[in-house]
Amino acid sequence: MLKELEENSKELNIESYGISLTTLEEVFLKIGTDNPEDESKSPVKLNGTTMNGHANKIEEGGNFYNYSDTLTLLKGIQLYLNQFVALMQKKASTAAAVAGLVWFLIYSPYSFIQQRYDSISLTTKILLSFMSNTGMALGFNVIMRYEGTQEGMQWHNIFKPVSIDDTFHLGHVIIMLIVDAIIYLLIALYVEKIFPGDYGVAEKWNFPFSSKFWFKVPEYVGVRDVNSNDVNHLNPNYEHEPKNKAAGIQIYNLRKTFDNNRVAVEGLNLNMYEDQITVLLGHNGAGKTTTMSMVTGMIQPTSGTAIINGKDIRRDMNAIRSSIGFCPQHNILFEDLTVREHITFYSLLKGLHKDDVEREVEKYVKLLKLENKIDVQASGLSGGMKRKLSVGIALCANSKIVLFDEPSSGVDPGARRDLWDLLQTEKGGRTILLSTHFMLEADVLGDRIAIMSNGVLKAVGSPYFLKKQFGVGYHLVCVKKDASCDSMAVTELLRKYIPDVKKESEIGTELSYLLDDKNLLVFQKMLKELEENSEELNIESYGISLTTLEEVFLKIGTDNPEDESKSPVKLNGTTMNGHANKIEESGNFYNYSDTLTLLKGIQLYLNQFVALMQKKVLNSWRNLVLLIIQIIIPISFVSITIIIVRSWGGNKDLPKLQLTLDTYKPTRTSVQFDPSAWVDSIENKIFENYREQFKSYSKDLQSLEVIHGDMIEHYLNKSKEFLARVNNRYLFGATIENSSITVWFNNQPYHTSPISLSLVHNAMLRTICGENCSIKVSNKPLPYRAESRMMMLQAGNNLGFQLAFNIGFAMAFVASFFVISYIKERVTKAKHLQFVSGVSSVTYWSSAFIWDYFLFLIISLLITITIGAFQEKGFSTFEQLIRVYFLLIMFGFAVLPFLYIAAFIFKSPASGFTKMSIIFIFLGVAMYTVVFSMRFEGFNLRDVADTLTWIFLTVPHFSLSNAFSNINLINVFKEVCDQQCNLLGICDKEKQCAFNARCCNLNYFAWEEPGILRNLIYFLIVGICAFCVLFLIEFRVFEVLYYYIRMIYRAIFGIICPKLIKRPPNFGETQDDDDDVKAEKEKINNMMSSDYQNYNLVMKNVSKYYGDFLAVNQLCIGIGSGECFGLLGMNGARQNFVIQNVDW
């Protein structure tokens, strides 16, 4: 038949054929499922091996899981993903690294039990499911087994085991995942309460067991019953409190000490009143921000408290926060939310009714003058607009208590005035606390001003009270026309009216006097005479002003008030007759530049290199935790991987399995026998010996029942009563009759037939030779063939593959750590500042690479030592370990410059670390696994795998995993070839090669696979190319090329089709320039090249476009030596661009 089929295959259009005996799997699928008819519907036929060399094709079933309910799978995955609510780290980069390590650790138990799954007890599997990753893996294992039955995982069988041999089901996993989610959430909430981080009030570790937590019992600690108003009366620098105002914020003995025993706030007592703006002044580090943070509940006070609208911040913070609006020192906005969405979001959080939200949005958008930006995302706003939005967020929803920490910082004068008007308008019905460094802002807005120094309140009162209390009177400033002005004559004129007048200073052309305010009545006559005699006295102008708030602050708000009098520059306020005061050089500054020696040439580069290396060392030392994590992650991955693979037993022959009643518990065994009919017969003795085998077991584990009727009817009746119990419990049986014994067994478990037969055989043996005789039955699998052993060694459950996968996975995190510091330096402009200070790109990146590579050498050495410590085959000798170390350090050479390029892409260090880790895992480890799987003969995709290998070798992590895999393959081939030598005596290399092609190429450094030479060459090429791209980016080659390509494009299409070229707006249109601007531009444009030597900086017709937006239009500036050139402008005037453009 087969011969005729072969001869007629072309006519019948038959490509290939195969024949095989019915497999045990097909038998199981036919009789071991609930519905045998489903077997014929299976789209996949497992027909054994083919006869003529062609592999059978697997038909497409449409889905990866052909039988399981998709909704069931999605719900399981959703429960799994819910576990990730518990990632709690201060730094996102650290959290991502810890998450990767924890993910691996909670998955590793499944790797331990994977090879012995069937021998693990139900209790152990359920307990292991407590770890979400292991539980998910166990769940998918159950799903895959259900796929094998062609029934699939459905809602109705979630709580049903796949077979009698495995009582574990998906319901166990789902229940444990729900329990995990609840426990993880409770842990997260608990840890957040006791470790709130830098911002938040920490609870005691036992707070869930306190009555305060359950019953909200009032609790007072660390505060004396002192009224701040009473305390303030004792200090003459404190103005009396207003009598007719309600205090919105009352601070009592507030104190904050940090871990280094530094006192930030010391015994602060202060009241702030409704309908008023209280301004908090103080130098940097005076305790202003710390005070605000304690009042808002962002940090916990060491002692003392604050009462806000009658509620204590120690126990009612949640209630207080609903009425607080806070504008922090730095903008905290969602970059992807618009202005409208920000105000809406915070209004809803504060409890505003949803019907009033839109009206609130319109109100504050109008007040903040952001109508044109209402639907613009925060990332598209200027710094001043972001500040306005932060103020609006604090005020929205009618917050009764509003705190502003330097609200006008970074805002232009026009916008600052608008903010002042807004705050004055909105202070009604609110208690506003504001901190600032801008004295005019404090003077304009402050109803009461509190001045702090070193955490202590120095003075508090209205601006007039402070000026009166600490001021020195009035300042009279006279500007001399020339050096012929007689200052003594001016002094004599003033003494006619004020005998004790004091000359404050005489600096350059400026003459300053202090006038006591008690002589205020004579000021008019004195100034009139000074005006009339100004020509004789050679006075160009004069001005008089009251003591400023800035002078008060400098007097009482500094660490050393005496320093105020030594200042060589006096800030004397505004003039009265319209002339600006001139600030002259005092001559008191020392010019240190004459005593400094600046290095040049090679010495300069060496000096810069040493400084950069010191910076890298200090940065690594002060981020020691990150370095430790970099070391722990790969060592942990390697150690756990080797331990897991060892637990699998490698490629050893499978052990024998002892088959006894202990194999299945509990069971019920039925025996059909009538003892009264066979008294004193051999059948009766056999029955007694059969029953004797169950006496050592309790009835709960193994029970025996004797029936007298038909066995088939017995089982049918039991099945009608409870089919599941019959399938799970009734496994063995026997019918003992005259001269015949029939053995019964349940065909669902694997080993019931030999065990049931063994029970009868042992009963017969003991009947013949006594109780001491027994037959022990065991199942001993056949040893692996050489071909099978080689396939196992190349498969994914061997040490080589596991090391390749897990080292690649670990190095994705290890390598990504190096990008963090460079993203941070670029984002914070620290790198820009280093370049402005004279550091070249070559010096910067060479020092970075040398230090990073040094760290990488240490990490690689520790990984190699860890691998060597386990002394596994192929990774034990010095030569083998040196090969591994060389592979790792070449990987480092390739991946570090790759990361330096990536540092230009990301906007934040945390996102850069996370995204680079994901990229390395996906393009490296995941693609390596895909390519590795494609090489299996059953897929027939080896050519595709080879092509993908050549492509992805450019990814360092893929190349690393591939190299470890190739080293493992050579180790495997060597082991098999050595076995051929030992068993078959074929030890000559040529004969081994002829006998087994895999013995032909065992050179680790061969170019062809499985050699690793091409991996090493790729590492070298990728590293060099990455450095080239890095310096092309640094030297802005790509930007220049883009500029010229764009210019050529515009020139060509401007001739061919002028309508396609859109002329940038406003370029060159500067007709409204001021006369001084025109003169400066004409001077710069007419400047000869030799004239440039007279200027330190010349900018000639500098323009900048952002798309079609003209940001800078033909800017011309010439700055000479010794000049201080000031750039002023509203927000968006592009002053920053001009400064940043200088070092282009």
Query: Using alpha carbons only, how large is the chain's radius of gyration in Å?
Result: 43
Evaluate if residue 762 carries a pLDDT over 80. yes
What are the tokens at 476?
């009279």
Strands 474-480 and 510-515: antiparallel
Residue by residue, DSSP assigns 432-448 as EEEE-S-HHHHHHH-SE
Closest CA to 93 of 909, 1041, 727: 909
Average pLDDT over residues 365-377: 92
Tell me whether strands 431-435 and 401-405 are parallel, antiparallel or unpaired.
parallel
Between these two residues, 416 and 1062, which has the higher pLDDT value? Answer: 416
**What is the pLDDT, as a whole number, of residue 329?**
84
Task: Please report where in the chains the tokens 């104190």 appear, as a residue.
Answer: 255
DSSP assignment, residue 505? E
**CA 1007 – CA 1004 distance, rounded (Å):** 9
**Residue 221 binned pLDDT confidence (cut-offs 50, 70, 90):** very low
Backbone angles phi, psi at 483, to 5 degrees: -70, -15
What tens digit of pLDDT does each residue of 4-13 get? 655 665 565 5
Instruction: Indicate the burial class of 214 (C-beta count within 10 angstroms; 0-12, 13-18, 19 or more).
Output: exposed
Q: CA 1001, 1007, 1009, 1015: dihedral to nearest 10 degrees?
A: 140
Residue 390's Cα: distance from chain center in Å?
A: 25
Element (H, E) at 993: helix 989-995
Q: In the prediction, which pLDDT does 69 show?
A: 56
Q: What is the pLDDT of residue 339?
A: 95
Residue 792 has pLDDT above 80, yes or no: no
Give the C-alpha separation, 238 to 460, whole Å.
Answer: 5
What's the longest Cα–Cα distance across the chain? 154
**What is the structure's pLDDT at 558?**
60
Domain boundary assignment for the chain: 1-60, 70-194, 224-466, 472-566, 624-647+787-1034, 657-779, 1063-1141
What was the pLDDT predicted at 40?
37
Side-chain-facing half-sphere of 665: CA atoms under 13 Å: 14
Which pLDDT score, from 0 to 100, does residue 451 have?
A: 93
pLDDT band for 126, please (50, 70, 90 cuts). Answer: confident
Q: Is the pLDDT of residue 793 over 80?
A: no
Three-state helix/strand/coil letters over 615-665: HHHHHHHHCHHHHHHHHHHHHHHHHHHHHHHHHHCCCCCCCCEEECHHHCC
Highest average pLDDT, of 43-52, 788-797, 895-904, comes from: 895-904
Q: What is the pLDDT of residue 219?
A: 46
What is the pLDDT, as a whole number, of residue 1070? 58
State how far the Cα of 723 lies from the Cα of 729, in Å rounded to an integer.
Answer: 10
pLDDT for 32 equals 39
Average pLDDT along the chain: 78
Confidence of residue 86 (pLDDT cuts 50, 70, 90): very low
Phi, psi of 951 (to 5 degrees): -70, -50
- Both tokens of residue 829? 């402009």
User: ω into residue 666 within 30 of 0, thus cis?
Assistant: yes
Residues 6+ apart with CB under 8 A from 613: 847, 850, 851
For 350, which DSSP code? T
The yes-or-no verdict on residue 295 having pLDDT over 60 is yes
**Cβ atoms of residues 512 and 477 within 8 Å:** yes
pLDDT tens across 330-348, in order? Answer: 888 998 999 999 999 999 9
Cα dist from 224 to 220, 228, 293, whole Å: 10, 11, 22
Taking the mean position of all CA atoms in its chain, how far away is CA 740?
74
**DSSP-H helix ranges across 333-462:** 339-349, 354-367, 383-395, 413-426, 439-445
How do residues 801-814 score in pLDDT, each as one tens digit? 788 888 988 899 89
Q: Which of 87-91, 354-358, 1060-1064, 1065-1069 has the highest mean pLDDT?
A: 354-358
Task: Answer whether residue 757 shows pLDDT above 80.
Answer: yes
Query: Is the pLDDT higher at 245 or at 1003?
Result: 245
pLDDT at 12: 55
| pLDDT tens, position by position, 727-745 | 778 889 999 887 788 999 9
Whether residue 85 has pLDDT greater than 50: no
- What strands, in cross-sheet order, belong to the sheet with 431-435? 324-327, 401-405, 431-435, 276-282, 448-453, 456-461
Res 81 pLDDT > 70:
no
Quickly count: other Cβ atoms within 10 Å of residue 108's Cβ.
19
The residue behind tokens 């994901």 is: 918
- pLDDT average, residue stretch 1000-1008: 78
Whether the Cβ atoms of residue 465 and residue 501 lie closer than 8 Å to each other = no
Task: State the Cα–Cα distance between residues 843 and 1026, nearest whole angstrom.
Answer: 17
pLDDT for the residue 785: 62
For residue 861, give Cα distances in angstroms to 81, 537, 877, 892. 36, 84, 15, 12
What is residue 733's three-state secondary structure? strand
pLDDT the model gives residue 1099: 85
Lowest model confidence (mean pLDDT) among 90-99, 422-431, 860-869, 1081-1090 = 90-99
Q: What confidence tier does 577 reach under pLDDT thresholds 50, 70, 90?
A: very low
**CATH numeric code, 472-566:** 3.30.70.250
**Highest-scoring range by mean pLDDT, 35-49, 177-191, 299-313, 959-973:** 299-313
> What's residue 399's pLDDT?
92
Identify the residue with better confidence: 79 or 484: 484
* Residue type present at position 61: G
pLDDT at 180: 80
3-class DSSP string for 867-936: HHHCCECCECCHHHHHHHHHHHHHHHHHHHHHHHHHCCCCCCHHHHHHHHHHHHHHHHHHHHHHHHHHCC
For residue 584, pLDDT over 90 is answered with no
Please state which CATH class domain 224-466 belongs to: alpha beta
Q: Which residue has the higher pLDDT, 241 or 985?
A: 241
Q: What is the mean pLDDT of residues 312-320?
A: 83
Percent of the chain whose predicted confidence (pLDDT) is above 70:
76
User: Which residue bears the tokens 């020696």?
Assistant: 597
Of the two residues 92 and 221, the one the predictor is more confident about is 92
Whether residue 702 contacts residue 647, with contact meaning beta carbons closer than 8 Å, is answered with no
The arrangement of strands across the sheet holding 539-546 comes to 502-507, 510-515, 474-480, 539-546
Query: pLDDT tens-digit profile of 709-723?
Result: 888 888 888 888 877
Are the C-beta atoms of 581 and 572 separated by less than 8 Å?
Answer: yes
pLDDT reported for residue 144? 79
pLDDT above 90: percentage of residues in the chain: 21
pLDDT of residue 987: 66
Q: Which helix (H) or strand (E) holds 1052?
A: helix 1037-1056
Residue 1010, preceding peptide bond in cis (omega within 30° of 0)? yes
Q: Give per-residue burial for 447-480: e unless 16+ CB within 10 Å, then b.
A: bbbbbbbbbebbbbbebebbbeebbbbbbbbbbb
CA dist., res. 239 & res. 248, Å (int): 18
Task: Report whether pLDDT(554) > 80.
Answer: yes
Q: Give me the helices (H) in 511-563, please.
A: 523-532, 549-556
Question: Which of 201-215, 892-906, 1030-1044 has the lowest average pLDDT?
Answer: 201-215
Query: What average pLDDT does this structure show over 216-233?
Result: 48
Q: Which residue has the higher pLDDT, 912 or 11?
A: 912
Mean pLDDT of 78-106: 58
pLDDT at residue 1064, as a whole number: 55
| C-beta of residue 265 within 8 angstroms of C-beta of residue 291 | yes
How far is 504 from 54, CA to CA, in rounded Å? 106
- How far apart CA 822 and CA 820 sit, in angstroms, is 6
**pLDDT at position 849:** 94
Phi, psi of 609 (to 5 degrees): -60, -45
Does the pLDDT of residue 1063 top 50, yes or no? Answer: yes
Q: Does the pLDDT of residue 564 top 50, yes or no?
A: no
| pLDDT over 70 at 981, yes or no | no
- Compute the average pLDDT of residues 650-656: 65
Span 290-306, mean pLDDT?
A: 88
Around Cβ 974, how many Cβ atoms within 10 Å? 15
pTM over 0.85: no
β 667-672/657-659 pair status:
unpaired
- Looking at residue 658, its pLDDT comes to 84
Q: Is the pLDDT score of 576 beyond 60?
A: no
Place of tokens 């017995």: 714
Q: Nearest-CA neighbor of 482 among 539, 542, 531?
A: 539
The letter for the amino acid at 432 is: I
Query: For 494-534, what is each residue's pLDDT tens digit?
Result: 888 888 888 888 887 888 988 887 888 888 889 999 898 88
